[in-house]
Structure formats: structure tokens, C-alpha cells
Amino acid sequence: MIVTVTANPSLDRTIELDAALDRGEVQRSLSSSEQPGGKGVNVSRALIASGLDTIAILPGEASDPMLVALRAEHTPTAGLPISGRVRSNVTITEPDGTTTKINEPGPQLTAADDAALIDLVVSHARRAEWVVLAGSLPPGLSADFYVRVINAIRHAADGTPPRVAVDSSGAPMQALIESGVGVDLIKPNAEELAELTGLPDTFEEDTDAAAAAALTLVNRGCRTVLATLGSRGALLVTADETWRATMPPVVAKSTVGAGDASLAGYLLGDQRGAAPERRLAQAVAHGTAAASLPGSTMPTPELTHPDSAEVHLLSRPDNH
């Protein structure tokens, strides 16, 4: 069982243009679609598409359009009733794959919501192999929310607690790194890797620098760093070794959710008992497949081609 936690989910409306976005002008869309989204939600959607057991935990009444949409997709959920409505986000995609997102802040959560959401996570984490904490935090939750969730999960565990993966940015990730609680996996993109390490964002062009930056996060308590670098593939960095994987180029329809699909691909490989380099191959294959699909559509395994990934060992301790 893989539990995902999305504290600030969204109902994502994607508008596809047949020409470049022309600011200030009137344009007609080629198509539009609406799908449930948010990082953890997308991970669960991708895991369901791959036949894995998962549940998506999120705030929202059973009647909220977000929860209704997830039920329609047959994604198992545990919703926390709140007074507000799950936010709506708008994504605009252009023919060359350029993606523009406009994200709402999300509903205001109370201190009671905060405590209840943590209790809900803990209750499901007891039977989980992984807990994925993903995305931004809505108004009302403090930046240390993920730290408090992890501590609560570990305190309540009977025996070995589930492994924890975190995919977030900004203050919540900074609070996590600075807390020293340690997690099993983080999944930054190039921009987030630069933000976490305070280094210039040149990582999509300079993968050696990205690998070195990721290793500093390993040294600060993140057991594994899965760094997604857009068209330059991804890195898998641990204290023991660093791998890089790339995929043949595809025509991108939408990059929304591609990083979430990459994380799901890694977890799929892990659950299948794959070696680290094959988990990375599945991660880039999932991410590439997601980018070739419209909106935030998550790929099935048949649409991914991990055997097409070029995977290279960059370093081991004896040649760091």
C-alpha cells in the first residue's frame, strides 16, 4: 500500500491552444479538459494506472467536485471534511509544449483541520509501505506541517514505520531539510534543487553540478534524491552511488504532472523489487510518457518504455 497526502489538491482545468499564447488578445482554444490534480493525487492516479494499491488522502467534502472526479476515475480516497472548497487551477498549453499554470491559494484550514488531517494520515500509514507527502500547503497549515506528519507517523508505528517520500518546494521543503528528521526520498526538479541548495539554477544544462547539489541534500538527511531535470532526464543520488537516465525525445503535449508520474514510476520500480538504476529508468519512462499526454493524464505501464532509457553510473564512493 502506498499512501499519498495532498494537503492542497486542485481540480485542474487544462486549455490547449493551437497557437502561441498572445497576451492581451482574444484566442480560441483547441480543446479543454478538467481532471483532479495535485502532486500526491497525481502519484496515486499513476499508481492506480499501474495496478498498485494506493489511497489518496486530501482535504475535501465527499460532495466536493474534486472528490467526485476522483471517484469517477476509481481512485481510492480518504477525504477530510472542511468548510471550504478544493481549489481550481488553470493550465494553458501551447503547441511547442510551453505550459503556463495559474494556481489558486487553496481553502483556509483551521487548527482543528490541521490536527485531524495528521490523525487521518497516521491511521492509514500504519498499513503502508510508503507515505508520499506532496505539493504545496494551503493557508492555515504552518511550514513545518510535513515535519509534524513524519514525526506522528513514526511515533505511532508498530515496528518499522513506512518509508517517506516528499515532493514539495519553498518553505515546507526548507523546514523539512532544516529539521533534520530525515526522509527516504525527495524529488526536486532543477528549480527546486537550486532553491534547496542556494545554488544557481543551471542544473538542466550541468548535470554534474546537479549531482553534486543533490549529494549535499543526501548529507543532510535525505537518503535518496530523485532529481528530475526536464528534457535532460533525471538523477538518482544516494550516499553509495549516482545514476543518470535519459529518454529519447518526444513531442510534449503537457508537462503538468510529469514529475509526479516520474515519482510514481520510481515507486513502481521499487515495489517490483527493481535495482536502483531500473527504478530510475522507470521514473524517466513514466515522466516522458506523461509529458506526451494531454493535461495531467497519467500513463499506464504500456505507454512507458523503460528499456529505451539510457542509464549511466556517474559515481560511487571510491571515485567521488
Q: What is the CA radius of gyration of the chain?
A: 19
- Which 3 state secondary structure label does DSSP give 290? helix
DSSP label of 97: S
CA gap 105, 107 in Å, rounded:
7
Judge whether 260 counts as a catalytic residue: yes
CA gap 110, 71 in Å, rounded:
26
From 260, 270, 307, 318, active-site residue: 260
**Strand 10-17 to strand 29-37: parallel, antiparallel, or no bridges (unpaired)?**
antiparallel
CA gap 258, 37 in Å, rounded:
12
Residue 236 cell numbers, joined: 538518482
CA gap 80, 93 in Å, rounded:
32
CA gap 150, 115 in Å, rounded:
13
Quote the distance between the C-alpha of residue 41 and its chain's center: 9
Strand partners, 35: 12
Residues annotated as catalytic (active site), given as ranges: 260
